[in-house]
Amino acid sequence: MANPPVAARPVAPRPVAPRPVAPRRSLFTKYFCALFAAVVAPLLIAGGSEAWFGFHDQRARLNDLLDAEARLAALKIHDFIEGIREQLAWTVQFPLSENTGDRHRLDALSLLRQAPAVISLSLVDAAGKERLFVSRIGLNRVGSNEDHSAMPAVLGARSDGIWFGPVTFQYGSEPFMTIAIAGNRSTVGVAVAEVNLKFIWEEISGIKVGRTGEAFVLDQPGRLVAHPDISLVLRADETANQPLRALRDAILLTGPGQAATGQDLAGQTVLAAMAQIPGMDWSVIVKQSLAEAYRPIYVALWRTAALLVAGAVIAAMLAYWLTQRMVGPIRVLEDGVARIGAGQFDHRINLATGDEFERLATRFNAMADELSVSQERSERISRLKRFLAPQVAELVDRIGDDRVLDGRRVEVVVVFCDLRGFTAFSTGAESESILGVLREYYDALERAVSAHEATLINFAGDGAMVLLNAPVPCSDPALRAIRMAIDMQTNVQELLTGWRVLDPRLGFGVGLAMGPATVGQIGSEGRLDYTAIGSVVNLASRLCDNAEDAEILVDRVAAAEAGSSMTLVELRARALKGFDRPVPVFTPMARSSVASGPPQPADAETSNRPAMF
């Protein structure tokens, strides 16, 4: 009912209240409610009721049909096994002895002719000795007297009169089963036959339900014993037969005489019923595809669909009216997505529809923000990598402060290393060999540098320069540098074992020194490099030049800074280019003793020997 007119109750002027925000309704709700209320609901109710009752009627009929076929198939297979049992019973009517050997041999050969499924027959006397063995695929034996008294087949037949063995696959393909039957007296003995189960295929292949329905047999472990496609049986692929075992389990859960749905080997959904074979742990399963089984229901649904098509004309008019209200937001979204896709990450999509369109526009705007941040970071790293070493560029981006690259005076440890004899090697070697050696060499150095969180300044041919304690400070830089040098030697010496086949003169030396240096970005406007300048750089370079293969040379400052954490051996002072006086040098003791034996005093005669890695 309308509210009373405001003029009837004069009041003081008030600010206009903001318009209430309409509750959000999803696009699906708007679209579905209009169609459902106008046309679809009555038709769905009528069609659904028809499909519901038709489904239950058809399901009951199929259940009875498949169950009857499964029981019939089980009976046929039982008759097949029973026929073999009767044939075997003829062979154990009389006791086995030397005098009756010919008679039993004729009975056994007659059995093989009359029962093609029997592959071999063994007659065991009352004492458990094999008297006769005949086979289609092996040599016959007469009077072998092999002791079979402990065989499961003999024991089972004597205990129960007849024994069915498990299904096995000879040579991993054809299915076989052992059947043993005892005579009517304990003195007669036992007949043990190997039966080829592929002959059951003749019985199974004759069962048809509709156009696609068929039957198959599984033994107790779930192996395929018989199937219209005999190749599936001969393959004996237990993994491929898993859908059939799952189908059997589904039928067992529904209860006796009830059909269940599942998947067949082709992945089709089927309806199946099962019957057990009397006296055996075998299951006969008859199945039919749901597509064929429910075809009458589908016909009824098609009739309902025709009515729905007629109603769809009315629904289309409603849909057209709703679509007109959707065109505007969709065009805004299309234009916004096109701009964001073109790289205009600052563009924002403004929609206030209160449904999925507004939420989608919000998601697109959030995505544009993330893409903008990601693009800025990628461009920042790309710009830094144009002027800096890659690891320094990543470091600057992670810290987020370019001032770490500004020039400053700091205590650093400088490490130089290079390959000995590489120039001579590269002169005579193939380019592929040279590039392969350098690739492995650089990888080995980078692993050691990364493990000790150092900064790889550059590679120069077969040499490399590494910096510690700059641009980011680190604890115990001298000790860290020595340990890194040891890892470098370990990695490269392992590679040299193979490289020396190419050139025995190849080696690897390392030199490191600690002291103050000026670090920062150095270069021209078009190219900047992060590096260090100072006498400590020259000293480390000269120590590297003076180091022999497998040798690590450490200056006095770095050795003193390492302290007791690393045992170092002082070597004879070295005369280095650019230095007026001989420079004291040290080498790690653990590595020195590997090749050079116990360390010697610096003033001894043996101090001329280089400390080897």
The tokens for 293 are 């089984």
**Tell me, what's the pLDDT at 610?**
42
Q: What separation, in Å, do the N-terminal and C-terminal C-alpha atoms of the chain show? A: 100
Q: Which residues pair with 288 in a beta bridge?
A: 271
pLDDT digits (tens, 9 = 90+) for 99-113: 666 777 787 888 888
pLDDT digits (tens, 9 = 90+) for 531-542: 899 999 999 999
**Tell me, what's the pLDDT at 588?**
93
Query: Does pLDDT of 171 surpass 80?
Result: no
Query: Does pLDDT of 114 surpass 70?
Result: yes
* SS3 state at 120: strand
> Are the C-beta atoms of 476 and 484 separated by less than 8 Å?
no
Q: What percent of the chain has pLDDT over 90?
A: 22
Report which of 101, 126, 114, 104 is spatially closest to residue 182, judged by C-alpha positions. 126
Highest mean pLDDT among 52-66, 335-349, 541-555: 541-555
**DSSP character string of 513-534:** EEEEEEEEEEE-SS-EEEEEES
Alpha helices in 92-173 (DSSP H): 101-114, 152-160
**Tell me, what's the pLDDT at 479?**
95
Report which of 208, 251, 250, 243 is spatially closest to residue 224, judged by C-alpha positions. 243
Angle between the 41-91 and 101-114 helix axes, to the nearest 10 degrees? Answer: 160
**Tell me, what's the pLDDT at 213?**
84
Average pLDDT over residues 560-564: 89
**Tell me, what's the pLDDT at 29?**
65
CA distance 35 to 3: 33
Query: CA geometry: angle at 503 spanning 498 and 506, to 5°?
Result: 80
Q: How confident is the model at residue 605 (pLDDT cuts 50, 70, 90)?
A: very low
Q: Is beta strand 118-124 parallel, antiparallel or unpaired with respect to 190-196? A: antiparallel
Average pLDDT over residues 236-244: 81
pLDDT digits (tens, 9 = 90+) for 313-366: 777 777 777 766 676 787 788 888 888 888 887 888 888 877 778 888 888 888
Query: Does pLDDT of 32 surpass 50?
Result: yes
Report which of 175, 191, 279, 153 is spatially closest to residue 227, judged by C-alpha positions. 175
> Are the C-beta atoms of 591 and 612 separated by less than 8 Å?
yes
CA distance 346 to 187: 100
CA distance 128 to 139: 21
Bond preceding residue 471 cis, omega within 30 of 0: yes
If residue 456 lies in a helix (H) or strand (E), which one and from where to where?
Answer: strand 455-460
Q: Is beta strand 568-574 parallel, antiparallel or unpaired with respect to 583-588? A: antiparallel
Q: Give the least confident one: 141-150, 282-291, 403-412, 522-531.
A: 522-531
Query: Does pLDDT of 51 surpass 90?
Result: no
* 238 CB neighbour count, 10 Å cutoff: 13
**Tell me, what's the pLDDT at 519?**
93
- Which comes out higher in pLDDT, residue 201 or 477? 477
Q: Which residues pair with 215 in a beta bridge?
A: 286
> Are the C-beta atoms of 229 and 253 separated by less than 8 Å?
no
**Tell me, what's the pLDDT at 400?**
65
Tokens 């005489």 belong to residue: 257
Average pLDDT over residues 285-290: 87
**Tell me, what's the pLDDT at 350?**
85
pLDDT digits (tens, 9 = 90+) for 440-498: 999 999 999 988 988 888 888 899 999 999 887 889 999 999 999 999 999 999 999 99
**Tell me, what's the pLDDT at 268?**
86
Query: Does pLDDT of 280 surpass 50?
Result: yes
pLDDT digits (tens, 9 = 90+) for 241-263: 888 888 888 888 887 788 888 88
358 φ, ψ to 5°? -65, -40
Mean residue pLDDT of the chain comes to: 80
Q: What percent of the chain has pLDDT over 70?
A: 83
**DSSP character string of 31-43:** HHHHHIIIIIHHH
**DSSP character string of 459-500:** EETTEEEEEESSSS--SSHHHHHHHHHHHHHHHHHHHHHHHT
Residue 255, phi-psi category: left (phi > 0), alpha (psi -120 to 50), beta (remainder) = left
**Tell me, what's the pLDDT at 604?**
37
Q: Is 398 exposed, middle or buried (0-12, 13-18, 19+ CB in 10 A)?
A: exposed
**Tell me, what's the pLDDT at 28?**
55
Query: Does pLDDT of 575 surpass 70?
Result: yes
Q: Which domains does the chain have, with CATH numbers?
A: 200-292 (3.30.450.20), 390-608 (3.30.70.1230)
Q: Which residues pair with 276 in a beta bridge?
A: 283
Q: What is the dihedral of CA 233, 234, 239, 243, to 10 degrees?
A: -20
**Tell me, what's the pLDDT at 612?**
46
Q: Give Cβ neighbours of residue 27 (< 8 Å, ≥ 6 apart).
A: 326, 355, 356, 357
**Tell me, what's the pLDDT at 78?**
82
CA distance 499 to 496: 5
Query: Does pLDDT of 140 surpass 90?
Result: no
Q: Give the least confident one: 303-317, 423-437, 583-597.
A: 583-597
**Tell me, what's the pLDDT at 477?**
94
Single-letter amino acid code for the residue at 535: S
The tokens for 189 are 């003995």
Query: CA geometry: angle at 447 spanning 391 and 394, to 5°?
Result: 15
CA distance 426 to 434: 6
Query: CA geometry: angle at 501 spanning 416 and 435, to 5°?
Result: 55
72 φ, ψ to 5°? -65, -40
Report which of 575, 569, 577 is spatially closest to residue 597, judged by C-alpha positions. 569
Query: Does pLDDT of 15 surpass 70?
Result: no
> Are the C-beta atoms of 566 and 588 separated by less than 8 Å?
yes
Q: How confident is the model at residue 204 (pLDDT cuts 50, 70, 90)?
A: confident
Q: Give the least confident one: 125-129, 366-370, 433-437.
A: 125-129
* Helix/strand number for the chain, H first, E second: 17, 20
CA distance 612 to 491: 15
- Which comes out higher in pLDDT, residue 517 or 387? 517
